[in-house]
């Protein structure tokens, strides 16, 4: 129990003293987490919606493919993207490796299947009358789609939050594509890994608490949105 309580008090101390390193890792976590969640949602929601609403050839295969992608371990995603972004790879000229942008790319690949599958199942359970009612009142395809999303907006928000929580607690991709560079690509998770190699378990716990706190705030924000 020793380093757990030590970690807890460390966390409070670090936050109140606005420790620069801690703030910078927290900022990086929020930055890459937020951007990749938004991108994954912008890509994944329309796909999930289309899968749930329209029927087309090869749909079942596509669903199977996406559900398989869900099970991809993050180190595999990290390895594949590294292969692309490395100077040896086809996108090496873009100089993206070991930057926050590289982490975002990996995290978007991780999060998009999550958004697709969860939004697909959410939309499938929507009352089929919504779309029909929208059409009966003269709505266009786009407006009808928007109406469906609006009707389940809190469920969709839950999907987006699930994606955010997933990417914020991710470590394999952040390490491999970001390089854990101090003050630049060091996220809370990669910092925790580093501190544990140094034997600094209490500090690791402190950082973990801060990470949990961030995810908690994100979930609390959904309550705020409900009230608006």
Partner 1 sequence: MQAVILFLVLIFFPISGVEAKRLKFATTTSIANSGILSPLLSAYKKKQEITVHAIITGTGKALELGKHGDVDLVLTHAPKLEHLFIKNKYGIDKKEIMFNYFLVAGPPSKKPLLKSEKVVDILKQIAKKKYSWISRGDNSGTHVKEIELWKNAKLNPLGKWYLSSGLGMGRSLIIAEEKNAFILSDRGTYLSFLHRNKINLRIVFGRKDKNLLNVYSVIQVNPIKHKNILYNEARKFSDFLLSNTAQCIIKKFKIKKVPLFYPVSLCTNNQSQGK
Partner 2 sequence: MSLILKNIKVEYEGFNALTIDCLEVSASKTIWVTGPNGSGKTTLLKLLAGLITPKTGIFTYNSKDLVTKKDYMEYRQKTTLLSQEPYLFRGTVFKNVMYGLNKKKLPKKELKTKALNAMEQTGILNLSNRDSKHLSVGEKKRVALARCIAIDCETILLDEPLAGLDEKSISQITNLIKKLSQLEKTLIISTHNYENTKNKNDSCIHLESGKIENFSH
Is residue 115 within 8 A of residue 156, CB to CB? The reply is no
Of the two residues 64 and 181, which places its CB atom closer to partner 1 in the complex? 181
Instruction: State the residue for tokens 């000229």.
Output: 93
As given in the structure block, the two tokens for residue 96 are 């993206």
Does 31 engage in binding with partner 1 (CB under 8 A)? Answer: yes
Asked if 53 interacts with partner 2 (CB under 8 A), we say no
Longest dimension (CA), the chain: 65
Query: How many CB atoms lie under 10 A from the CB of residue 52?
Result: 18
In whole angstroms, how large is the CA radius of gyration of the chain? Answer: 20
Least distance in Å: CB of 224 to partner 1?
Answer: 12
Least distance CB 180 / partner 1 (angstroms): 6
Based on the shown chain and the rule CB under 8 A, indicate whether residue 97 belongs to the binding site for partner 1.
yes
Tally of helices (H runs) and strands (E runs) in the chain: 11, 0
Is residue 93 within the footprint of partner 1 (CB under 8 A)? yes
Figure out which of the listed residues 130, 158, 161, 162 binds partner 2, where binding follows CB under 8 A. 130
Pairwise CA distance, residues 157 & 111, whole Å: 14
| Binding residues vs partner 1 (CB under 8 A) | 30-31, 34-35, 86-88, 92-93, 95, 97-101, 104, 179-182, 184, 194, 196-200
| Binding residues vs partner 2 (CB under 8 A) | 127, 129-130, 132-141, 143, 147, 150-151, 153
């Amino acid at each position: 129990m020793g380093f757990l309580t030590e970690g807890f008090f460390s966390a409070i101390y670090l936050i109140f003293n606005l420790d620069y390193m801690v703030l910078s890792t927290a900022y990086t976590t929020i930055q890459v987490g937020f951007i990749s969640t938004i991108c994954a949602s912008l890509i994944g929601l329309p796909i999930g919606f289309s899968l749930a609403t329209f029927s087309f050839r090869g749909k079942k295969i596509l669903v199977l493919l996406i559900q398989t992608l869900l099970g991809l371990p993050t180190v595999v995603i990290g390895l594949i993207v590294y292969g692309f972004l490395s100077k040896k790879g086809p996108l090496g000229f873009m100089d993206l490796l070991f930057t926050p942008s590289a982490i975002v790319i990996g995290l978007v690949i991780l999060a998009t299947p999550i958004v697709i599958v969860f939004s697909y199942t959410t939309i499938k359970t929507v009352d089929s009358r919504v779309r029909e009612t929208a059409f009966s009142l003269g709505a266009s395809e786009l407006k009808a789609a928007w109406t469906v999303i609006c009707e389940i907006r809190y469920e969709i928000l839950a999907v987006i939050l699930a994606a955010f929580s997933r990417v914020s607690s991710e470590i394999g991709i952040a390490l491999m594509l970001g390089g854990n560079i101090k003050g630049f690509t060091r996220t809370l998770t990669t910092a925790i890994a580093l501190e544990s190699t140094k034997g600094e378990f209490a500090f690791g716990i402190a950082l973990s608490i801060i990470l949990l706190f961030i995810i908690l705030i994100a979930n609390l924000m959904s309550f705020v949105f409900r009230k608006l």
